[in-house]
Amino acid sequence: MNNMNGIEWNLDSLGVGRIVLNRPENNNALGSSSAPALVRAIDEVLAGQPRVIAIEARGAIFCAGGDIREFVKAGDRLAELVDEILDQLLPAYLKLAQATCPIVTVVNGPVGGAGVGLALCGDFVLASDTMKLRTGYAAIGLSPDVGASYFLARRIGSVRAQQWLMLSDAIDAQRCLAAGAVDQVHPAAQLDAAAQALVKRLCASAPASLAAMKRLSLEGPSLSLQAYLSLEQQLLRACARTADAREGITAFVGKRQAQFTGR
C-alpha cells in the first residue's frame, strides 16, 4: 500500500484499486497537504486500469470536508487557498468520477462538505448505520465544491438537494437511504464485509459491459433519443467483439457461471 500525507492507495492482483483516507486524527479532512496525495493516488490507480475502484476511510469519520483549521489560518487569503487546493484536485477528481470502471464508496461514518462529493461519486455508495451526511457549507458561509451539489442532486433530485444544502442539517443513514443518497446501509461491524462482497462481484463481471452501462448512464440525459440510440449501438457493437461476450453467451446457454477475463 502506497502512503502519502494521509492518503493510501494500491492496485491488487484482482484488479481492485483502493484509495483510503487515513487522517483520522484530522477527521480525514482534505487540505493543501492531502490534496496532492489524493491526486497522485487517483492518477496511479487509474493508470493501472482497475476493474473496480473502492474508496474507503479509516477512523470514525469518512471525511469532514475541507480542513477548517487551515481555512482559519488562511485569514484573508482563504479564496487563494481554496483555488490552490481545487486547481490541483479537480482535474484528478473529474477523471475519477468519469472512470470507466465501477466505483464503490464505503462511507464508514459521518461525511460533510467536500467529503460528500467524494462519497457520492460512487456508482455504489455503501454506508454504515453510524453515517450522517451534513453538507455544512451554509453553516460557514461557503458554497459547495468537489461535486457535492452535483452528485447530491443527481441522487436525490435538485430541489431536495438544494434544501439539504441550504439547511445544512445532519441527515442520518436511514434517511439518506430512503432519499437515495446512499444505496445500502449496514451495521458498522458488517460494512467492510458487505463492501468486499460487492467489489468481488463486480470484479467477476465483463469490464467492457460495465463501462458501456456507465457511459450510457452518465451521457444519456444530455443526448437526444437519436443520439442515445446511436451510442447504444456503438457500445453494443464494441462489446460484441470481445471474448468476454462470447464467453458470456456460451456460459448462459450452457447454464454455467461465466468466467470473464477482461478481453
Domain assignment present for residue 259? The answer is no
CATH of the domain at 220: 1.10.12
Buried b (16+ CB within 10 A) or exposed e, 3-38: eeebbbbbbeeebbbbbbbbbeebbbbbbebbbbbb
pLDDT tens for the chain, 263 residues: list them: 999 999 999 999 999 999 999 999 999 999 999 999 999 999 999 999 999 999 999 999 999 999 999 999 999 999 999 999 999 999 999 999 999 999 999 999 999 999 999 999 999 999 999 999 999 999 999 999 999 999 999 999 999 999 999 999 999 999 999 999 999 999 999 999 999 999 999 999 999 999 999 999 999 999 999 999 999 999 999 999 999 999 999 999 999 999 999 99
pLDDT of res. 248? 97
Domain assignment present for residue 221? The answer is yes
User: Please, what is the Cα angle at 111 between 160 and 94, to 5 degrees?
Assistant: 80
User: What are the C-alpha distances in Å from 27 to residues 60, 69, 93?
Assistant: 8, 11, 20
pLDDT of res. 261? 93
Task: Give the Cα separation of 184 and 124 in Å (integer).
Answer: 8
Cell of 56: 474507503
Check if the beta carbon of residue 92 is closer than 8 Å to that of residue 38: yes
For 20, phi and psi rounded to 5 degrees?
-125, 125
Give the total number of structural domains in the chain. 2
The DSSP-derived string for 13-24 is TTSEEEEEE--G
Instruction: Assess whether 145 and 17 both reside in one domain.
Output: yes
Instruction: Assess whether 96 and 193 both reside in one domain.
Output: yes
Other Cβ atoms within 10 Å of 227 Cβ, number = 12
Check if the beta carbon of residue 181 is closer than 8 Å to that of residue 131: no
What is residue 4's three-state secondary structure? strand
Domain assignment present for residue 48? The answer is yes
Domain of 236 in residue numbering reads as 207-253
Check if the beta carbon of residue 144 is closer than 8 Å to that of residue 164: no
Instruction: Assess whether 16 and 60 both reside in one domain.
Output: yes
pLDDT of res. 65? 95
- Contacting residues for 181 by C-beta, under 8 A, at least 6 apart: 120, 125, 133, 152, 155, 156, 171
Domain assignment present for residue 260? The answer is no
Instruction: Assess whether 120 and 190 both reside in one domain.
Output: yes
pLDDT of res. 139? 95
Domain assignment present for residue 171? The answer is yes
